[in-house]
Amino acid sequence: MSTHLPEATDRDPQETREWIDSLESVVAHEGPERARYILRRVMEAARLHRVEPKGALVSDYVNTIPVADEPNFPGDREMEKRVRRIIRWNAMAMVQRANTKFPGLGGHLSSYASSASFYEVGFNHFFRGPDAEGGGDLIFYQGHAAPGIYSRSFLEGRLPIEAMERFRREAQRGMGLSSYPHPRLMQEYWQFPTVSMGIGPISAIYQARFARYLQNRGIKNTDASHVWAFLGDGECDEPESLGQLSIAAREKLDNLTFVVNCNLQRLDGPVRGNGKIVQELEGIFRGAGWDVIKVIWGPEWDDILARDHEGVLRRHLNTVVDGQFQRFTNAPGAEVRSEFFGKDPRMLEMVAHLSDKQIEGLRRGGHSYRKLYAAFQRVKELKGQGRPVAILAHTVKGWTLGEGFEGVNATHQKKKMGADELKAFRDKLNLPISDASLKDAPFYHPGMDSPEVEYMLERRRQLGGVMPTRRGKIQVPVELPDDTFYHEFHSGMTKGEASTTMVFSRLLAKLIRDKKMGKRVVPIIPDEARTFGMDALFSQVGIYAADGQLYEPIDKGKLLYYKESKSGQVLEEGITEAGAMASFSAAATSYAVFGEPMIPFYIFYSMFGFQRVGDQIWAAGDMLSRGFLLGATAGRTTLNGEGLQHEDGHSLLNALAFTCIKSYDPAFAYELAVIIQDGMKRMYTDEENIFYYITVYNEDITMPPMPGNANWAEKWGKPESAELLEKTRRGILDGIYLYQSADNKLSHHVQLFGSGPIMGRVLEARDLLAEKYGVSADVWSVTSYGELRNDALECDRWNRLHPEADPRTPRISQALAGVEGPFIAASDYVKALPDLLREWIPGRLTSLGTEGYGMSDTREQLRRHFEIDCETITIAVLDALRKEGKVAASVVAQAIKDLGVDADKLDPLHV
């Protein structure tokens, strides 16, 4: 995409010159606007004749802002340089000291070294703090630049020296500094986790969009707060980094700026050794509709470039590849003169007045405070134009750290400086650190009353307070609906059928209609509303669209039409689980980021959750998200026709690894309602830092009433029981409760566990066992193996560490106290889930489930295949009784035959 045109290919230089002269004359006499106008008209003509230039999106490899347009720098240049130098030193010292004392702790020196000036320009002049009018800016710091951010807080007096000494040593809570930005570990400090490459950028886009959503829906005026995302050029290789750029342009997010640290290196070596990452990124950003400001060269180049009347130098800059530029970072001036400028005598002439030393000192733009200030200021001026902006700043990785670091391929991994390097660094920064103490790389603080610290604090006062700052307490109480709101879901159905997905959809619609909290609900759907039967929401509350609806929808006039609206509530994300997940995180952290608690319900194909965007879900946990994830069309066999890639039977197992997630697999409407009601209370009233994963299915069943309530009493001819109702509620939340006990015990008695739609098959098996095999059963609904396990682990641990205290009893043990096995558990998820409880089950446990790849067929066939249908559950029960010596092997064998199960059928594990 280079704009380079070799001079040698010019067939008629004279003619070319005339064209250029005309243009230059227009610029000189009629101004740039007129020149732009003419060029646009010429381009129109060029397009008409199909001769438009290729790669027109990319400008020359020079600064976007001409020298003449650079604003005056308003700060105290010298003072800011001193501040910057102290921060640079301490950022190095914290990594150096940590690794000297505790080899292997790690950390990074070179990334902050290359980006220090970005942050300092921002902190001293642009980043609006949390107390700024209209709310503070939201900043995504490049993860491994964290030492620089800590060092600034140290100077500001926010972090004591003891904390600086505990970089990457956090196990002793309260003091340590996390390796990277982790809100979960430093809850009053970091706001956004960024170090998993790509997650910062995509989150920033959706964060900026969510700010607009809050604004357009009249929830909060977020106009003043700006989102800044700092990322690496290597990080741009991640699909998440660039994959959603177009949405930022489409939504006109001029409240968003990416600052890409283009040090031309990633971890192992050059980002684009044979190409030009800045140019590549410029084309991508511009193509996606962003404004791009390139900050390529420092002020030392201004004069040289001014001498480039014929464009020879520019053309050369456009062609030299990054690998070569990287080499020049370390090369002596004489070599740069001969190998770089020496390519053309006219270029040599341009630098003839410079000494070799001066040539060596030609800085990259990203290290020039003046150039960066101009770029940031331009961002401010561009606000209101409706376009996000990317600043692409050319830097050197390891800048100022000395020859062993600057631009070398191994720089990313270097955690320590040698004695000579420390000395050189100290000298370069001109800091009063004695030779004797140098070897310890001591922290340096000039004192809270030093001019440097007073200056920087004053700057922050002017800009609205110190950063990073996270305020995680809910400031606006959320008024949640009371019990009566949920009664209809507890009552069951006397006729007709519904799926848990339909029940969820009804509950969600009802929550949205709630006068008090309804506006805080954020339904998020990635192009699957119709699949989940939720399309009614479109016309009911509208799809959020910053532009409103600029067309007449094809289904206008129908009851359920596709309504887009500026105040629409539904985030209809299109086919991007990654984007939808980023929206979820933004909504789920709104209580802390914007001080407005929002309640996201993100519903997706359960298969495309944990395994597709698991890392983003992990980051959502880090961010202390609060909200609901709904894995829809769940179940390996319940979603039957879609086959191998859609049928999920393991997301609940994945969910277990995320300890801040409460995962549930409800079978009935009332279970779902109880879980959501309690979840909202825990997250939005009790302020627990948890969020939920709930599977919902598309199998229709007649929803039963909740044990203990009036309809249940009527159905079963039993007394209504508030006590049983409460016991059931508690059990649902704990993870298990007795759904139906056997009226009469037969010759053998067993315990059956059922979850999700497989509960229906368990109930069928219970009836068959009683009818044909003289086996009675109690049936338990297991809503969460994960919750039960975590509780049991917690009790066991406590008991181990408090051997003399009264032992705590896990909830699973409380529920099953005095209950005799065998126990047979079946669900539409993997056997590994019930297996997790084996240790606490007071008898033999047989786990049935869906290990193996799914396939398409009828539900009946799939359930036979995975051995979780009525007949195969029945066989498993008989086999458990055989193992207990209660029935003969021949009984099981006969049952296999009678029930028509092929004993030699394929093992689903091996599909």
Ligand X SMILES: Cc1ncc(C[n+]2csc(CCOP(=O)(O)OP(=O)(O)O)c2C)c(N)n1
Which residue lies nearer to ligand X by CB, 200 or 757? 200
Of the candidates 869, 501, 533, 489, the residue with the CA atom closest to the CA atom of residue 704: 489
Q: How many residues bind ligand X (CB under 6 A)?
A: 18
Structural tokens at position 379? 């961002």
567 binds, among Mg ion, ligand X, none (CB under 5 to 8 A by kind): none
Candidate residues 200, 232, 679, 707; the one interacting with ligand X per rule CB under 6 A: 232
Give the whole-angstrom CA distance, residue 257 versus residue 205: 9
Least Å from the CB of residue 446 to ligand X:
28
235 binds, among Mg ion, ligand X, none (CB under 5 to 8 A by kind): ligand X
Q: How far apart are the first and last CA of the chain?
A: 47
197 binds ligand X, rule: CB under 6 A: yes
Q: Which residue sits closest to ligand X, CB atoms considered?
A: 232
**697-726: contacts with Mg ion (CB under 5 A):** none
**844-903: contacts with ligand X (CB under 6 A):** none
Give the whole-angstrom CA distance, residue 589 versus residue 233: 27
The pairing of beta strand 736-740 with beta strand 775-782:
antiparallel
Interface region with ligand X, contact rule CB under 6 A, candidates 12-20, 189-197, 342-350, 524-532: 189-197
Structural tokens at position 454? 């007073």
Which residue lies nearer to ligand X by CB, 543 or 619? 619
Taking CA 631 as the corner, what is the angle to CA 630 and CA 636, rounded to the nearest 5 degrees? 160
Least Å from the CB of residue 400 to Mg ion:
16
Which residue lies nearer to Mg ion by CB, 99 or 110? 110
Distances (CA, A) of 68 to 299, 302, 369, 382: 12, 10, 16, 18
Candidate residues 97, 144, 166, 364; the one interacting with ligand X per rule CB under 6 A: 144
Of the candidates 800, 910, 819, the residue with the CA atom closest to the CA atom of residue 865: 910
Least Å from the CB of residue 94 to Mg ion:
21
Least Å from the CB of residue 369 to Mg ion:
20
Instruction: Give burial (CB, 10 Å; 0-12/13-18/19+) of 696.
Output: buried
Give the whole-angstrom CA distance, residue 765 versus residue 864: 13
Least Å from the CB of residue 265 to Mg ion:
5
Least Å from the CB of residue 890 to ligand X:
57
Kindly report each contact of residues 757-760 with a partner whose C-beta sits within 8 Å and lies 24 or more positions away, as own/partner. Answer: 757/635, 757/638, 757/667, 757/697, 757/699, 757/701, 757/828, 758/635, 758/826, 758/827, 758/828, 758/863, 758/868, 759/667, 759/668, 760/667, 760/699, 760/701
The answer for residues whose C-beta is within 8 angstroms of residue 338's C-beta and 6 or more apart is none
- Site string (245-274) toward ligand X, x via CB under 6 A: ----------------x-x-xxx---x---
**379-418: contacts with ligand X (CB under 6 A):** 397, 412
Give CA 298 to chain center in angstroms. Answer: 35
569 binds ligand X, rule: CB under 6 A: no
**340-369: contacts with Mg ion (CB under 5 A):** none
111 binds, among Mg ion, ligand X, none (CB under 5 to 8 A by kind): ligand X
**114-143: contacts with ligand X (CB under 6 A):** 114
Contact 599, 571 (CB under 8 A): no
107 binds ligand X, rule: CB under 6 A: no
Give the whole-angstrom CA distance, residue 68 versus residue 846: 78
Which residue lies nearer to ligand X by CB, 99 or 263? 263
749 binds, among ligand X, Mg ion, none (CB under 5 to 8 A by kind): none
Instruction: Give burial (CB, 10 Å; 0-12/13-18/19+) of 177.
Output: buried
Which residue lies nearer to Mg ion by CB, 234 or 600? 234
Which residue lies nearer to Mg ion by CB, 263 or 827? 263
524 binds, among Mg ion, ligand X, none (CB under 5 to 8 A by kind): none
Candidate residues 59, 100, 187, 196; the one interacting with ligand X per rule CB under 6 A: 196
Contact 735, 792 (CB under 8 A): no
**Strand (E) positions, 665-729?**
691-695
Q: Kindly tell me the sign of the dihedral angle through the C-alpha atoms of 95, 98, 102, 105.
A: negative
Least Å from the CB of residue 234 to Mg ion:
4
Give the whole-angstrom CA distance, residue 247 versus residue 243: 9
Report helix, strand or coil for 451: helix
Which residue lies nearer to ligand X by CB, 412 or 865? 412
Give the whole-angstrom CA distance, residue 417 versus residue 402: 9
**217-236: contacts with Mg ion (CB under 5 A):** 232-234
Which residue lies nearer to ligand X by CB, 226 or 412? 412
Which residue lies nearer to Mg ion by CB, 263 or 709? 263
111 binds ligand X, rule: CB under 6 A: yes
Which amino acid makes up residue 260?
A: V
Interface region with ligand X, contact rule CB under 6 A, candidates 127-135, 230-238, 590-598, 805-813: 230-238
Candidate residues 233, 452, 577, 871; the one interacting with ligand X per rule CB under 6 A: 233
Least Å from the CB of residue 68 to Mg ion:
31
**258-277: contacts with Mg ion (CB under 5 A):** 263, 265
Least Å from the CB of residue 113 to ligand X:
10
Contact 813, 840 (CB under 8 A): yes
Candidate residues 80, 120, 235, 787; the one interacting with ligand X per rule CB under 6 A: 235
Which residue lies nearer to ligand X by CB, 197 or 511? 197
Which residue lies nearer to ligand X by CB, 130 or 143? 143
Least Å from the CB of residue 82 to ligand X:
25
59 binds, among ligand X, Mg ion, none (CB under 5 to 8 A by kind): none
168 binds ligand X, rule: CB under 6 A: no
**448-487: contacts with Mg ion (CB under 5 A):** none
User: Hey, which residues does 525 pair with through a beta bridge?
Assistant: 572
195 binds ligand X, rule: CB under 6 A: yes
Residue 109 CB coordination number (10 Å): 29
Give the whole-angstrom CA distance, residue 196 versus residue 852: 30
Which residue lies nearer to ligand X by CB, 619 or 895? 619
196 binds, among Mg ion, ligand X, none (CB under 5 to 8 A by kind): ligand X
On the CB side of 671, how many CA atoms lie within 13 Å of its CA? 32
179 binds, among Mg ion, ligand X, none (CB under 5 to 8 A by kind): none
Of the candidates 796, 871, 812, the residue with the CA atom closest to the CA atom of residue 845: 812
Distances (CA, A) of 377 to 102, 285, 295: 42, 19, 13
Which amino acid makes up residue 133?
A: E
144 binds, among ligand X, Mg ion, none (CB under 5 to 8 A by kind): ligand X
Which residue lies nearer to ligand X by CB, 144 or 520? 144
Contact 114, 366 (CB under 8 A): yes
Which residue lies nearer to ligand X by CB, 236 or 830? 236
457 binds ligand X, rule: CB under 6 A: no
Of the candidates 619, 793, 797, 593, the residue with the CA atom closest to the CA atom of residue 691: 619
Q: Which residue sits closest to Mg ion, CB atoms considered?
A: 232
Which residue lies nearer to ligand X by CB, 244 or 265? 265
Contact 574, 545 (CB under 8 A): no
452 binds, among Mg ion, ligand X, none (CB under 5 to 8 A by kind): none
Under the rule (CB under 6 A), what is the footprint of ligand X? Answer: 111, 114, 144, 195-197, 232-235, 261, 263, 265-267, 271, 397, 412
Under the rule (CB under 5 A), what is the footprint of Mg ion? Answer: 232-234, 263, 265
